[in-house]
Each structure stands twice: as structure tokens, then as C-alpha cells.
Structure 1
Amino acid sequence: MRCKNCQHTQLAQSPIVQKYCHIANKVRNKVIMSLQDDCTLDCIANDNNISPSTVNRYLDQSRAIASLIKQELPINMALGEFRGVNQQLHFICIDNDGNHKIQAILPDRYKRTIENYFLSFPIQERARVKTISMDLNSYYQEIARRLFPNTQIIIDRFHIVAMLTRAFNQYRAQVMKRFEKTSRNYRLLKFSWRLYLVSEKKLSNVNAYYDRHIRQQVTSNERVDLGLLVDERLMADYNVMQSIMTNLSHRDMDGLTDALYPSEQISS
């Protein structure tokens, strides 16, 4: 505003907003609190009627990621990574005791960054950790064994199943390429490949449908059987994969051990 006597201008100030800012402090605080939730920057921006770039600026200013780092470690932890701002991968550590609260989010997933974070805790605190759940990342396992003396490593079942299905699909593609593209065997393995990855219990023996690729009326179970008959080793791979998936879902350790060492000839 301008003074009528001296013609000098002054900026009106209020405790509601910061100086040179038109966004209320309450909105800013709400955005900072929302950054700790499981939602995107666009969702936070839409909820508060501001732009995503403003949310990103508040993220940098408030150092919300650093504020999530706690001074003690949970008894049961889970390690992983996620894709964050600018498509960069960040390391995340959470409490695996049911509440799944965030323990720490690091700016990258480099080995040195992760080691430096955990080494900031004394050995007595790291010795309290009993279990660490993770994927098949090799240096996660190395860090866990070296820095946590009393921990037990737990591999996430999802990654085991993903590795199985990926290996099965690779051999299925190898067998498929042995045949001409116009042949029936090629079409059996080329199309409806997702059915091979479904649990056997979810395949139907009753509901038939017309498969235009093989020009035949089949059920989903019959469709899988027709494809497996093309190659004996492919059928052995399928049986092993299904056995491991079943034992993992039932938490049957003895059955899982037997399934990991099959008597059938399977692919490499």
C-alpha cells in the first residue's frame, strides 16, 4: 500500500501467509504433512489447489524426506526401492511389524549411501534387528549380513515367483521358435501365454470357449495341456513352477524343498 503523505509504499504482512507469498501457512503445512503419505505430487497439488511444482518446491525446502529418518531401528525391517521424482530410484526402509511405517527414505539406492545410513546407528541398535525382508538384490543381502549380526534374511515370495515365471517364459519362447509361424504348435505356445502363468487351481475344466488361434473349443485347463504336450521339458518346467508356487502359498517348507530339487529333466 502507498502512504498518502510521503508516497512511500509498504508491503502488508500477516501471520496467515509468509512475506512475498500468497499461499496460506496452513496450506503449506498441510502439503508438508501430505508428503509423508502414500500419494503422488499431483494428488497433493489437486487436494490443495496448488501446482505440482509448488509441492515439489515445498518438498525441497522442508526436507521432508530427511525428517522421516528415525533414531532407532525396528525389530523387523523391509528393504526396497521405489521410483520417485525425475524417475530416480530411492531406497526405502520400513517397519515390517504390521504397521508398515516408513523408517527412512534415502535420496538414492547406492551401496555406499545405504551403508552410511545404517552405520550411523551403534552396533547395539543394529543387533536388535531380528529379520530383514528384501528382494533378490545381492548387495542388500551383503549389507544385511555384514551390518546386522543377529538378523535373519527373508526373501519376498513375489520375487521368487517372478523369477520362476520369467525363466518359464524364456524357455517357452525358445521352444516356440523351433516351429514355423503358421504351424499349430507355434500358435499353441505363442498365444494365450498368460494361462501358463496362472495357478492350476484357477484354471477351469468346465467353462469352454472358442480359441480362434487354434480353431477349437477348449477350456482354459485343456488349452494349457495342449501347449505343454508340445515339449516334455516344457511340461516338466511347468510342473516344477506350479509346485513351487503352491508350496509358497501354503507356506509348506518341506514341500518347497522337494519342489526345488525335482527328479524330472527341466530346462537350464
Structure 2
Amino acid sequence: MKTSNNSPADNEVAENDTPNALISDNDLLKFFNLERENVQDFSITRRKDGMYVNITLNKTWVQCPVCGHMTSRVKDYTDKKITHSVLSITNCYIIYHARRYECPHCKKTFYENNPFTFGGRLSVATVFNVLRDLKAPNATFTDVARRYGISATSVINIFDKHVHISRRQLPECLALDEVYAFKSHDSDYVCVIMDYLDKKIVDVLPSRRKYNLLNYFMLIPLEERKKVKYVSFDMWETYRIVVKHVFPDACCITDHFHVIQELTRRVDRVRIRVQNRFRKTINTLKPKKNNKTITSEELIELEEASRYYYVLKKFNWLLASTNKKILDVNVERRFNHRLNRYLNYSEILAYMLAIDDELEEAFYLRNDVTYFYDHCTYDTAKKQLEKIIIDFRSKTVAEMSPFANTLTNWKKRSSTAS
């Protein structure tokens, strides 16, 4: 076995011919999944951050992957550093002098077969050890990563690439939702399939596109799909189309969380529109105040606009709050220096709603839907929903009235709401 002789300036210490006289070259090479006859050069060097193993494989005749001709012509070499976690006492790295061949026939270049990795910078042994350790019920990605001197992200990537968990049986009540896919190559969102009742994941799909969803569900036997009686999802049309095709006996349910979420966004658009109106007033009158050319009437208007803008900007979250403790009228008041009075959150909300009639209308329209979900029964739901749709149509708030069409569309075609 060859050894490297390096100066102390390189922070390297050359090993003896063998770390243990009883260990042969062949025994050492087995740590790296190699046979002696396949190795041209092999040496071990110890540095401060671990053990470095320099390996060069024998040159041989190889087949060009493009044209199929055999060649042994070498173009050049590239050093590749591979984490090889086979030692528990120190970090271990392979410095693989990867040979690149050149085909004399088509002039294409290509690397020799790499026996150390599946691709990437982690050895096969490292991947195997990580997957083995992750089998332990109490194992975490961080602990395994620390054990083998790699990042937690690398451990997660190994798990995602090599572990394929079979799906659970489809439940009677199914829920579909999307989650931002920070690592998916197929889509910006992955589709999460859950059991609505026990909140356990059935499966996770790499995309929420219609084509992918149809292909996935159609591979499940029809008898199993017929067991699904209810499917809950947001108001994305693709989900409804897919459910109607693949679950013939299922009832579509629009998830009430997403309905309220959409209404809350609409209320907030009204708030922003009103807030911007006061912002415009402030931008117009404030320069006059700074230049001392403002009239007493304009000064009053500026102070009022500033107070309204402050409340709409700082306490916007109150419009979406359903916390009864926060909105309790009996909660102790606190002094607000900007408004120069004692107020609790319930009174601040009332103050905000009194600023603009359309904002107040939008707020109570959303609350009507919230009340519907909290108090309606199976027998009264249809009648109450019809009334809500009429109320939305009769209002003139630009951001809210179109939602009557949304409710009508989903009521007519979905047959129920959760």
C-alpha cells in the first residue's frame, strides 16, 4: 500500500504502511467495496478533519455510451471528494481520481464507472448506514447526520430518494389539500391525501395537477375507491373534477376553512381600499402642515385621517379574529396614546367598523357565513345558505358581492358544505 508523505504545514500526518500489521491491503480495500486487482493507486492520509483515502482505479477498455465503440484513451482526471462514513472514531473521505475517457470515433468524453456512490458526494456505504440507522423508532435526521459527519439536509435527501412508503387504504372520509413543495421537481405544490377523521396521511403526491391525480387514483381498484363516501377540499376546480371521475359514490365537500379564508381575504381588500383613501388624504395634507399653510379645517381632517389610518393599519387582525376572549366587551380597557382614550379590543373593533359603511358590511357578511357553520343543522342548512346568498347579492360592496356566485356554484354542484 502506498502512503503519502506530506509536510506539517499541510496539517497532514502520513500513516504507516498499514494501520495494523494484521490488516492487509485487500482487507482495507473491502471498506471501499473494491478488489485489489481493480486498483491502480491507493494511499491513506490523516488530517485534522479526518482520514483521507486517495484512490485511482485501473485503466481499462470501456464502451462509449454514445456510439458504442470501445476505447482506452484517457482525456484527463478529476478529483472528487466523497464522504465515506464507515469509521466511528473519525471522519473518512475518499479522494477519487476519476478518469475521463475520450472516444476516438465520436470525440465524446465520459467518466469511468464510479463504484463509490449512487451519484453525488456520499458513498454507497454512507447511504446504507444512514438508511439503516433511520429504522430506529427514536432516530432523528439531526442525530444521524451528526453521527456520520453530514448535514441534516443530506440525510433528508437520502430518505426521500430511497424510502418509498406504501400508501394507506383509502378511508371513508378523504381530505385533499396542497402544500408548498420546496423540493419537488414536478410542481410548486404537492398534494397531501389525508384521512379526514383520524388526521393521518394516506399518501403524498408530487403534484396536484389533474393529469397526475387522475393517473394516481385510477390505478387504485374501483372497489376500494367506491368505499370513499366523502371528499373534502378547497375551492380549486381541479379537485372537484378529479373526485367526480374517480370516486363514483363520493360526495364533494368544500372545506369551510378555505371558504372563511377566502371571505377574510375579501374583507381585508375592503380594509386596504379604505385605508389607502386615508393614506391619500395624509399625503395631500401633511406637506401643507409642514409648510404651515394648512387651514384649521384641513388640520382636523388630517388628524382624523391619521387616527383612522393608524387603527386600520395596526389592528387589521381584529377583522379576522374569532377569539371570544379577545373580543369580550368586559375585558379591562387600556389607554391608547394614539387615540387618547381607554379601550379594549372589542371597542377598537367597533371604532374601526364605524369608520366606513362598506367595511362594516363586508365584516358582517363574513360573520354571517361563520355563524352558518357554527349553528346550522342538517335540516336548516339549505334555507340559511339561500338567505346568505341573497344577502351577498343585495350588497354593493365590490369585493364581497361576487362571492354570491361562488356560493351558488359550489352549492349547486357540490351538494353540501362542511
Query: TM-score of the superposition, structure 1-length normalised?
Result: 0.79
Stretch deviating more after TM superposition (205-214 or 150-159): 205-214
Q: Give the superposed CA RMSD.
A: 3.3
Aligned to 1:259: 388
- How far 1:260 moved relative to its partner? 4.0
8 Å Cα contact 1:191-1:213 kept in structure 2: no
Structure with greater helix share of residues: 1
Question: Kindly tell me: are residues 214 and 252 of structure 1, through their superposed partners in 2, closer, same or farther at Cα, counting changes over 3 Å?
Answer: farther
Q: Residue type matched to 1:144 in 2? A: V
1 CA distance for matches of 2:22 and 2:362?
91
Equivalent-residue separation in structure 2 for 1:5 and 1:237 (angstroms) = 83
Amino acid at match of 2:26: T
Corresponding residue SS for 1:68: coil
Deviations 1:172-220 (A, max 9, x none): 1112222223413333323311112223744132321222332322121
| 8 Å Cα contact 1:2-1:8 kept in structure 2 | no
Q: Is the 8 A contact 1:244 1:260 kept in 2?
A: no
| 1:59-70 map, 5 Å | 59-62=160-163, 64=164, 67-70=165-168
- Secondary structure in 2 aligned to 1:97? coil
Q: 1:97 aligns with which of 194, 197, 215?
A: 197
Match of 2:183 among 74, 78, 86: 86
Do structure 1's residue 112 and structure 2's residue 211 form an aligned pair?
A: yes
User: SS at 1:92's partner residue?
Assistant: strand
Match of 1:28 in 2: 131
- On the 8 A contact 1:200/1:242 being kept in 2, the answer is no
Q: Which has the higher contact order (CA 8 A, sep 6+)?
A: 1
* Equivalent position of 1:239 in the other structure: 364
- The size of the alignment, in residue pairs, is 252
- Give 5+ residue unaligned stretches, structure 2: 1-17, 32-85, 87-122, 283-301, 399-418
The answer to whether the Cα contact below 8 Å between 1:2 and 1:10 also exists between their aligned partners in 2 is: no
Contact kept in structure 2, 1:132 and 1:151, CA below 8 Å: yes
The verdict on how the C-alpha distance between 1:162 and 1:68 changes in structure 2, with shifts beyond 3 A counting, is: same
- Which aligned pairs between 1:158-177 and structure 2 lie closer than 5 A? 158-177=257-276
Cα distance between partner residues in 1 of 2:341 and 2:321: 21
Quick one: which of 302, 322, 329 aligns to 1:205? Answer: 329
- Confirm or deny that 1:188 pairs with 2:286: no
Sequence identity percentage? 23
AA aligned to 2:159 is: Y
| Alignment partners' CA distance in 1, 2:176 and 2:226 | 17
CA distance in 2, matches of 1:161, 1:146: 27
Distance 2:24 2:269 in 1: 79
Distance 2:135 2:397 in 1: 52
- Please say if residues 131 and 158 of structure 2, whose CA atoms lie closer than 8 Å, have aligned partners that are also in contact: no
Check whether the contact 1:83–1:90 (CA below 8 A) recurs between aligned residues.
yes
The letter for the 2-side match of 1:217 is Y
Counterpart residue type for residue 356 of structure 2? D
Rounded Cα–Cα distance in structure 1 between residues aligned with 2:275 and 2:343:
20
Residue 141 (structure 1) shift: 1.0
- After alignment, is 254-263 or 139-148 more displaced? 254-263
* Residue identity in the other structure for 2:362: D
Cα distance in 2 between the residues matched to 1:44 and 1:232: 54
- 1:144 aligned residue: 243
Residue in structure 1 matched with residue 27 of structure 2 by the alignment: 10
State the shift of 1:6 in Å. 11
Q: How far apart, CA to CA, are the structure 2 residues paired with 1:266 and 1:60?
A: 54
- Identify if the C-alpha distance between structure 1 residues 189 and 266 changes in structure 2 by more than 3 Å, giving closer, same or farther: farther
Q: Which runs of 5+ in 1 are unaligned?
A: 38-42
- Quick check: 1:187–1:214 contact (8 Å CA) kept in 2? no
2:142 maps to which residue? 46
